[in-house]
Every structure is written in structure tokens, then in C-alpha cells.
Amino acid sequence: MRLPVPALLGGLALALAAGLATPAAAQPATDAVGAIRARGALVCGTAPSTVGFATPDSAGRFRGLDADYCRAVAAALLGDGEKARIVPTTTQQRFTQLQSGEIDVLSRITTWTLSREGSLGLAFAGVNVYDGQGFIVKTSLGITSAKQLDGATICMQPGSTTELNAADWFRTNNLRMTPVLIEDIEEARKAFFSGRCDAYSTDSTALAAMRYNQGDNASQYMVLPEIISKEPLGIAIRKGDWKFFDIVRWTHFALLTAEELGLTAANIDSFADSTNPDIQRFLGKTGDLGKMLGLQPDWAVRVIKAVGNYGEVWDRNLAPLGIPRGINNLWSKGGVQYAPPMR
């Protein structure tokens, strides 16, 4: 039977539409929450060794702000922060490890950018540190401004925003520089300290940590005053698993909300009889917030008992390095850290 032309065209259009939809429809539905619960552990990628963010202590236990975020998510989802299995990742491999499912979440001084969400399939659940890129030099060079680095060699890690930001900034300021790209972070730092480079460039918080880590020799190094980029450092998961995304995002917001409410790891149990509606919802006594996320009623309490509130996490990990809260203060204290209402 010969179909009329309009019918043929209509059928062709439907077939093409179906064909175009096939790849997306064929993608397997992800269930990170189910997989993590079945495994009994959250696998979280961090930096191999960055003081203040993630570095192993003498017992091999990772400590730092990023490591604490791993434990906070594990406490929310599994009820125990110690069920976070922390895996060190390199700058080059971190995204592949997340995309492949080798890790469940990336909490690794990683900048939230359009390309990382748009082309790498990542979803950033929040910004745990608002940072910016800078430079560190030896004080013996007599340099007090990044604009004096014309013609300098700069040690950096490849595969990060650092390399691109530096190239843009030097070009914009009509300055020249020679990048020295070293993938291994410890080797890159050693190259700088040994004099192979005139300067080292990365996020300003990491530079402060580098300087602090020199102990009695810290005064021999100076972090220059210029901040050349915006670096919103965040926690990321694979795009598409929105159930898991909500849990990670609201874990971050729970840390901020606890600080707003004055809830700490040490005192949270003393608020059990509080009549404050916000605290009652936070404790899981009213509102069914845990049920909405597929978690236990006291999930937020477990987060705070595991790592403390955001202020405690900051004071334990970054304040000792001499890094001021600044814009990372709560909105009520002049900063930009702001959590939507938990209700």
C-alpha cells in the first residue's frame, strides 16, 4: 500500500525523533545511593597531599576540609562519617575517576566551571570555599607584586584552571612567562622550592598552606597580593543522579545552617528540648526533611557529630594556616556563605 506523502514525511519525522532520543534513553539510570549503601562505604576522591584540605596524618588518616566533607556526606547517607573511603586523586585523573564510577564524589579543591559541568558531565553540589589564584615567590627575589613577574618561570600543574588563568592574566597585562608544567603536586612544589621556577601558582589557600608547611622557613616565602581569578571550589558528582545530588548539596547546607543556629559537635545534644522551630526541623523532630531526601530523621545531627559545623571545619583546618574566613563567612557576618531554608 502506498502512503500519501504527508504520512511518509510524518513517519520519517517520528523515526528521526526516536533515533535522536535513543542515545539518551539508552543511558543506564544511575543509582549512586543504592550502590553506596550496598557497598557500605562512600568512595570520595581528594587531593593526595594538600595541608588544610586533604593530607594523611602519621596513621594514614586523611585530614582537612575536603576530607571532612567526605565524612559529612558519609554521615548523612550511611549514618557514620568513618564509612567514607578516601581515595587520593591526581589533577589529571580526578574527572575520569568520577566519570567512570571509581569514586562516588569528588571533594578535591576543584573549581566549578561551565566546561566541567557542560562537557565533562559533572554536577557541582555547592561551593565549600570561595578562593582565587595567586603566586608565591621567595622573598630573596625582592618581588612584591605579580606584575614584577615579567619573563618569569612559573611552576604549575597541567590539567587545571591554573594554567589557563595564568596565561590569560599575563597576556592581559602584556607580560611574558614560561610555564613549567609538572603533574605530580609534590614534584611541582619541590621544583619551586629547589629554585627551578621563579614562582609557583595555584589557589591562594593552597599557597598559604605551602608557606605554612615550611615551618621556621616560612618567612623566606611570600604570597603575592594579586588574586587573578575566581575559584569557587566545590564538591562534584556525576550528572544525572539527582537523588544523590540532593543529599550532597543539603549536607553542605546543613553545615552552614548548623553554624547559623549555633549547633556544634559538642553541644548539639543539648538542644534536644529546644522549642526553636528551625532547630526542631534540623534535629529531625519535625518536618520530615530526612524522609524527603531518603535519609534518617536525624541525618543532619549525624553530620554535625561527625565533623562539626562549617565554622568548626574551617577553624580546624584552614584557620591554623593563617587563612582568614573573609568572604567565606556566613552571610550574617559579611560573607557569601548562605544556605536556603531547611523547611
pLDDT band at 30 (very low <50, low <70, confident <90, very high): confident
User: What's the pLDDT at 159?
Assistant: 77
Is the pLDDT confidence value at 28 over 50? no
User: What's the pLDDT at 187?
Assistant: 94
Pairwise pLDDT comparison (161 vs 342), residue with the higher score: 342
Mean pLDDT of 213-241: 96
User: What's the pLDDT at 72?
Assistant: 98
User: What's the pLDDT at 27?
Assistant: 40
Is the pLDDT confidence value at 64 over 70? yes
With a pLDDT cut of 70, the percent of the chain lying above it is 92
Q: Which of 188, 159, 160, 206 is nearest to 65 (CA)?
A: 206
User: What's the pLDDT at 219?
Assistant: 96
Helix, strand, or coil (residue 326): helix
* Cα 139 to Cα 124: distance, rounded to the nearest angstrom: 37
Pairwise pLDDT comparison (71 vs 10), residue with the higher score: 71
Mean pLDDT of 114-120: 95
User: What's the pLDDT at 29?
Assistant: 54
User: What's the pLDDT at 244?
Assistant: 98
Tell me the per-residue pLDDT of 301-322, one tens digit each, with 9 for 90 and over: 999 999 999 999 999 999 999 8
Is the pLDDT confidence value at 8 over 70? no
Mean pLDDT of 329-334: 97
Q: What is the mean pLDDT of the chain?
A: 92
* Cα 78 to Cα 71: distance, rounded to the nearest angstrom: 10
Is the pLDDT confidence value at 84 over 90? yes
pLDDT band at 19 (very low <50, low <70, confident <90, very high): very low
What does the block give as the cell for 85?
Answer: 573511603
Query: If DSSP states are collapsed to H, E and C, what string results for 100-134?
Result: HCCCCEEEEEEECCHHHHHCCCEEEEEEEEEECEE
Is the pLDDT confidence value at 54 over 60? yes
User: What's the pLDDT at 12?
Assistant: 40
* Cα 174 to Cα 298: distance, rounded to the nearest angstrom: 56
Q: How many CB atoms lie within 10 A of CB 273?
A: 8
What does the block give as the cell for 20?
Answer: 535522536
User: What's the pLDDT at 21?
Assistant: 38
DSSP state of 333: G
CA Rg value for the chain = 23
Query: For residues 235 and 124, is the Cβ–Cβ distance under 8 A?
Result: yes
Is the pLDDT confidence value at 7 over 90? no
* Cα 109 to Cα 54: distance, rounded to the nearest angstrom: 9
Mean pLDDT of 246-264: 98
Residues in CB range of 272: below 8 A, 6 or more apart: 283
What does the block give as the cell for 201?
Answer: 601558582
Q: Look up the pTM and report it.
A: 0.87
What does the block give as the cell for 274?
Answer: 529546644
Mean pLDDT of 181-191: 92
Mean pLDDT of 272-282: 98
Is the pLDDT confidence value at 13 over 50? no
Is the pLDDT confidence value at 26 over 50? no
Query: For residues 314 and 53, is the Cβ–Cβ distance under 8 A?
Result: no
